[in-house]
């Protein structure tokens, strides 16, 4: 039995997680000590996979994430980096980032040398010649449910500002009765679901399919 089979017996290696799935639990070594994902219940988690340590785009992402790590913390969100590199490689990389840029990476980076976690989360690029993870982000809610999945190729860095916005939007709609429109930012109006009954449509007026919460006609 491989490490993958042992940790995730119900998943085959082609399993791809979807929004609404329970996040597969794992225990792993990290740059901040041992960690079990389910111990983070009650917090949002942004699981942030990168292709490899000591690479240019990944370094730019970690610099940006580290600069705003306190904002994620204030939003009750734990940042978790992950790659298939070893723990010593992760530690050497964060030390080099501090030495060269004066920025401390204070959030944990998960060691996934067996690729068990990357396989369970569908983070491995099937077209890649090596085992590097794609730039996958899984946003996990406080109950351990996946609420968003983002995937970028290794050649394009993610926008940390957009990840903060995504987290804020997911938190704003978490109750389930509001929707976040395009480009929504904290403090802006949310949308109501489209009116469904005839009386609701009549009461809402011609723009019944785009009702901003708090507007008179909504």
Which residue numbers are catalytic?
A: 58
The pair of three-digit structure tokens given for residue 132, joined into one six-digit string: 């590097």
The pair of three-digit structure tokens given for residue 95, joined into one six-digit string: 């030390």
> What is the distance between the alpha carbons of residues 196 and 60, in angstroms, rounded to a whole number?
46
144 vs 157, beta carbon nearer ligand BEZ: 157
Which residues, including other chains, have CB under 8 Å from residue 171's CB and lie 6 or more apart?
44, 75
Q: How far is the CB of 118 from ligand BEZ (least distance, A)?
A: 14
Contacts for 143-147 with beta carbons within 8 Å, 24 or more apart? 143/41, 144/22, 144/23, 144/25, 144/37, 144/38, 144/41, 145/20, 145/21, 145/22, 145/23, 146/17, 146/18, 146/19, 146/20, 146/21, 146/22, 146/23, 147/19, 147/174
What residue spans of 21-144 are helical by DSSP H? 56-67, 69-74, 87-101, 116-120
63 vs 212, beta carbon nearer ligand BEZ: 63
Q: Of 55-63, 90-98, 180-188, 203-211, which part binds ligand BEZ (CB under 6 A)?
A: 55-63
Q: Of 56-64, 86-94, 183-191, 206-214, which part binds ligand BEZ (CB under 6 A)?
A: 56-64
The pair of three-digit structure tokens given for residue 86, joined into one six-digit string: 């070893």
State yes or no: residue 154 binds ligand BEZ (CB under 6 A).
yes
Q: Which of 61, 71, 74, 135 is nearest to 103 (CA)?
A: 61
Q: Of 27-35, 54-62, 96-104, 175-183, which part binds ligand BEZ (CB under 6 A)?
A: 54-62
Q: Of 47-55, 86-94, 95-103, 108-116, which part binds ligand BEZ (CB under 6 A)?
A: 47-55
State yes or no: residue 51 binds ligand BEZ (CB under 6 A).
yes
52 vs 78, beta carbon nearer ligand BEZ: 52
Q: How far is the CB of 59 from ligand BEZ (least distance, A)?
A: 7
8 Å CB contact between 54 and 89: yes
- Contact track, ligand BEZ, 91-130, x by CB under 6 A: ----------------------------------------
151 vs 212, beta carbon nearer ligand BEZ: 151
State yes or no: residue 57 binds ligand BEZ (CB under 6 A).
yes
Binding footprint of ligand BEZ on the chain (CB under 6 A):
51-52, 55-58, 132, 154
């Amino acid at each position: 039995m491989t490490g993958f089979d042992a940790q995730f017996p119900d998943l085959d290696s082609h399993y791809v997680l979807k929004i609404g799935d329970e996040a597969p639990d794992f225990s792993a070594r990290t740059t901040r000590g041992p960690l079990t994902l389910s111990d983070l219940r009650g917090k949002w988690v942004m699981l942030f996979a990168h292709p490899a340590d000591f690479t240019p785009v990944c370094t730019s992402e970690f610099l940006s994430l580290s600069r705003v790590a306190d904002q994620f913390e204030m939003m009750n969100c734990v940042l978790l980096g992950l790659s298939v590199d070893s723990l010593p490689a992760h530690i050497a990389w964060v030390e080099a980032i501090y030495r060269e840029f004066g920025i401390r990476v204070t959030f944990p980076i998960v060691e996934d040398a067996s690729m068990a976690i990357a396989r369970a989360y569908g983070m491995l690029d099937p077209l890649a010649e090596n085992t590097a993870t794609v730039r996958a982000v899984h946003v996990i809610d406080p109950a351990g449910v996946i609420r968003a999945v983002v995937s970028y190729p290794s050649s394009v860095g993610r926008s940390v500002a957009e990840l903060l916005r995504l987290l804020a939007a997911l938190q704003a709609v978490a109750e389930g009765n509001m929707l976040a429109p395009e480009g929504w930012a904290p403090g802006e109006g949310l949308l109501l679901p489209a009116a469904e009954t005839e009386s609701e449509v009549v009461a809402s007026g011609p723009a019944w399919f785009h009702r901003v919460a708090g507007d008179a006609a909504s």
